[in-house]
Structure 1
């Protein structure tokens, strides 16, 4: 890959439906940048009033008094034909309209203070361009240099048309995309970047965003990631949790005052804004208060809520999030005990109850990594995607765009993988040498010991994965427990993944090898999955054998 001076400053972008973040790697350290208002989480919102266009936090403030002129949740609508939009989340802002087959939004603007207000249409692609342009300007203000490009993350479910539309919007914003990477890959890059040693493992990446949730099961082998399964719900996220608080507090207000604040759009928007803050407080504290001046008909509102009551009220969406994780694991043909690590990312994952739900699904040996877990995250859960995008930006930033594009050809990034383990019998037990999901081509070198009688016969098998279930030994009862009439508890079942030899692939026979001598066994599989096995005595005494299957 040829190096280039074309891209000198490359940033990472996490472009979410509700919030976006900017990251940059300087001197080997990736940080999330703050915009000119000091925000690291920048609302993905545009709002129009008179001849002014507001963005970010300022635009979010317009949702209370100028909702119909505010454009939100446009990320997932970019590149989608209007007739394919069966669901959107623009319930508290300008609604999507059909603009020559594209998704757009009608807003009222003025060219200047003297002119009359007129209707203007902003397409989802134009809104994305304006938003990305503002992010680029914020990055340049922070870094003090011109930004030449970015690496941006997208959900796994993004279509090719959406990816192309996003790339076109970024070019229009003066922020060409060097590479698009999937959200789970960005999350894992952020974690791998902070780890000194990479180990093979199976990871569940659960990304709970504002209004969509996506769970991916990823196998990491030799530093390569393979997505085994993905499950997503386009109507599940932090907004569902906010809805719970809105309904709860609205009911409390109506009980005291006989007025339903949700019947007035402005009152509902004010209450929703407060509930977003209360939800965040409950992620870090066991109690939170909610206060809104003049919520409805001039009446102020003040209430308190503890975390337990919130978790009970939000049981339905929280359980759906847990079920989505279980669905992804099942879709990958795995059991919970096969998972080495669970990573909870996205703003909604900060809810502590989600961590405890994961602890109920997965065994103790599975590490749960979240904001509130024993195994903490190295970054804020809301910033993992941005950090991972920034890490990737630092890796590809000094190469030609054409070389980056060619390196992303399907023949390169969609590598074939083993579908079943390959190994040998040693000491009466099957030993896996190459596990399922290992990317091809691959090579494995191991050392085996010849029998004490001399000579060596090494059969090489393809195996099938199975589950071994054993009963845990019950703890001995003390005298009081032994005399008790209470029924004994059922012994705990212990499950473990095993590989059982199924198909003989090849045999290695070295009759003249010395007793107890060491043999180097080399297994090679090409991109087609063809196996070549080579064995040679390490002491040089005896024949070398080579064969293929």
Structure 2
């Protein structure tokens, strides 16, 4: 088996890593950075941008730029660009495609396999959506693992002394807490809790709302409906948040933010760390509940923790770090880069699956984050697999009928901690038919839940008397069918091909323009060393090449137009060859 890359598909930034020489290494992307913004954009000429290039143009192309799509994973929603609808899985696959390409460029070989991380509190639909995104991107997703577990794996590789650690993971869009036990050769998740709608994006939003209100108070202008202005404000809010992690005051200066009859209006204000902490205090405080829940579920107290690990860029916020100190009574560890450790852990798991000899002794035992149940008489949610059960796992329980001579039962599969079915999330349902007619309470129907290592659920029901059986792999309205995924894969491949063609067209135009400049320079600088007929021919060929390029857009070049440019370029290269040699001799002297 080839290399299996590890991917942290984040809300605001993503990261990819791979095992090299027995150690995980972050892969630097094409732009030279170690993380890639989880941003996708579509330009007006149809070009697709991903990562840094997409983020840089967001202000001028706000309506066609998509960020924080991870928060929509598992939902029955879509983004519409140019009347084309894209599911969250498809947008996420574009980010994964870039990470895959960066990995291939780094390794110098094709990459087909990956381990992808998800927040521990992602439910079944969100995990499936992540796996679908990987398939669309051309990746065989070998394993889906929880982000805090991946971080613990990255930490535990070099810190195998027996201990219990707590991973506090506050990323761009999600928050997770996991209590994990590390012992010799084994990393076991004891409990997990969290909130998959809390993260750095919420801190940015809170600060953005404050800036908008201050601007309205000072200038009487409401910017909330101005998409371009709001994009600039959100971008500046994120920068201010980051700056306030080290500074106590930051100046927010946004010129020409709006206009009035009197002229342009600017934003210029100073923001203190104290004010930022006041605005976001409730967000920071809300992380306390999951911490206490995870400790209680693990059956330990904070004093029994050997280590507290901070994961996710939002843990750099000083108030967050202070909250962790207050909650757990110890200084959180900062030995891991919070932006990279999840991808490093995923790479370790990938190395293990690929058979890396240095990792064979590591056993990873994860848990299911939420209770799985079926609906029984009275709308009761009857648990079969409790939250924080180690996975993979399988559990069966025998039920019976509620009515006389009932020949079928409707099995509703639920996820959540509430007592009544209506208060939990319906994952899926199916009908078991062919039950032998009998009085209520006589038939024996065995319901089996099977959760694989990715945390994905399979459910079956069997009438033990008749032997009739029905089973499903849970799908929700947000999951994509195999046919839809296959179509998305074809679309992604076609887009990649068109991207390559478009790049080739732009390269041809660039080369042609450079050739024209070089030929004009050669004619001007060789003087009398170049005879008049040759100069005349070069000028004529320059004019022909210019004419072939006139009114032609590289993004929309037809095959005949491309052929015309190539022929004219080839002709000029021939007529100017001698002039180029003379120019080289002149410049050498």
Verify: 1:204 aligned to 2:166, yes or no: yes
How many Å separate the matches in 2 of 1:40 and 1:250? 33
The residue number in structure 1 matching 2:476 is none
Shift of the 223–304 alpha-carbon distance from structure 1 to 2, 3 Å rule, reads: farther
CA pair 438-270 structure 1, distance change in 2 beyond 3 A: closer
What's the TM-score, normalizing by structure 1?
Answer: 0.60
State which of 54, 71, 92 in structure 2 corresponds to 1:59. Answer: 54
Q: Distance in 1 between matches of 2:191 and 2:67?
A: 30
* Displacement of 1:255: 3.7
Pick the aligned partner of 1:353 from 312, 319, 324.
319
SS in 2 for 1:382: coil
Q: 1:42 aligns with which of 23, 31, 36?
A: 36
Q: Judging changes above 3 Å, is the alpha-carbon distance between structure 1 residues 252 and 319 closer, same or farther for their aligned structure 2 residues?
A: same
CA distance in 1, matches of 2:232, 2:146: 35
3-state DSSP class of the match of 1:386? helix
Structure 2, unaligned stretches of length 5 or more? 369-388, 392-589
Q: CA deviation at 1:160?
A: 4.2
What's 2:433 paired with? Answer: none
1:388 counterpart residue number: 345
CA distance in structure 2 between the aligned counterparts of 1:171 and 1:264, rounded to whole angstroms: 37
2:104 corresponding residue in structure 1: 140
Check if 1:15 corresponds to 2:19. Answer: no
Determine if contact 1:322/1:354 at 8 Å carries over to the other structure.
no
Superposition pairs of residues 301-450 of structure 1, within 5 angstroms: 301-363=267-329, 366-369=330-333, 376-377=334-335, 379-398=336-355
The whole-number CA distance in structure 1 between the counterparts of 2:367 and 2:294 is: 20
* 1:207, distance to aligned residue in structure 2 (A): 0.8
**C-alpha separation in 2, matches of 1:35 and 1:244:** 31
Specify whether residues 291 and 13 from structure 1 end up closer, same or farther in structure 2 by C-alpha distance, changes over 3 A only.
same
| Structure 1 equivalent of residue 131 of structure 2 | 167
SS, match of residue 286 in structure 2: helix
**Structure 2 Cα separation of the partners of residues 127 and 321 of structure 1:** 29
Q: Tell me, what secondary structure is at the counterpart of 2:78?
A: strand
How far apart, CA to CA, are the structure 2 residues paired with 1:327 and 1:228?
A: 12
Shift of 1:26: 1.9
Once residues 277 and 314 of structure 1 are traced to their aligned partners in structure 2, the CA distance between those partners, rounded to angstroms, is 16
| Cα shift readout 1:60-114 (whole Å, capped 9, x = no counterpart) | 2444343333333333544x362xxxxxxxxxxxxxxxxxxxx322111xxxxxx
Q: Deviations over 1:250-296 (max 9, x none)?
A: 33333433323334222121111111111111112233222212112
Offset of residue 390 of structure 1: 1.7
More helix by share: 2
Q: Distance in 2 between matches of 1:293 and 1:142?
A: 40
Q: What is the match of residue 289 of structure 1?
A: 251
Q: Does structure 1 residue 280 correspond to structure 2 residue 254?
A: no
CA distance in 2, matches of 1:303, 1:413: 47
Distance 2:75 2:223 in 1: 36
Normalising by the residue count of structure 2, what TM-score does the alignment of the two structures yield? 0.57
Alignment correspondent of 2:147: 183
Task: Kindly indicate whether residue 68 of structure 2 is the aligned counterpart of residue 73 of structure 1.
Answer: yes
* Pair 1:165–1:234, CA change in 2 (3 A): closer
The alignment status of 1:106 with 2:80, answered yes or no, reads: yes
Q: CA deviation at 1:204?
A: 1.4
The 3-state SS of whatever aligns with 2:266 is strand
CA pair 261-167 structure 1, distance change in 2 beyond 3 A: closer
Report SS of the residue matched to 2:314: helix
Any conservation in 2 of the 1:289–1:304 contact (CA below 8 Å)? yes
SS at match of 2:49: strand
Counterparts in 2 of 1:169 and 1:294: CA distance versus 1, 3 Å: same
Deviations 1:336-384 (A, max 9, x none): 2222222121111110111211222223xx4522xxxxxx32x321211
Task: Give 1:216-231 correspondences, 5 Å limit.
Answer: 216-231=178-193
When residues 343 and 10 of structure 1 are mapped into structure 2, their CA distance, relative to the original with a 3 A threshold, is same
Distance 1:329 1:28, change over 3 A: same
CA contact (8 A) 1:70 1:107 kept: no
Q: Is the deviation greater in 208-217 or in 245-254?
A: 245-254
C-alpha RMSD of the superposition = 2.9
How far apart in 1 are the matches of 2:186 and 2:120? 17
Distance 1:243 1:413, change over 3 A: closer
Q: Displacement, 1:13?
A: 0.5
Q: Secondary structure at the match of 1:181?
A: strand
Q: SS state of the match for residue 120, structure 2?
A: coil
| Counterpart in the other structure of 2:445 | none
CA contact (8 A) 1:151 1:178 kept: yes
Q: Is the 8 A contact 1:199 1:222 kept in 2?
A: yes
Gaps of 5+ in 1: 1-6, 83-102, 109-118, 370-375, 416-436, 440-549
Asked if the contact 1:18–1:73 (Cα under 8 Å) also holds between the matched residues in 2, the reply is: yes
- The residue that corresponds to 2:27 in the other structure is 33
1:380 and 1:81, CA in 2 relative to 1: closer, same or farther beyond 3 A? closer
Name the SS for the 2:139 alignment partner: coil
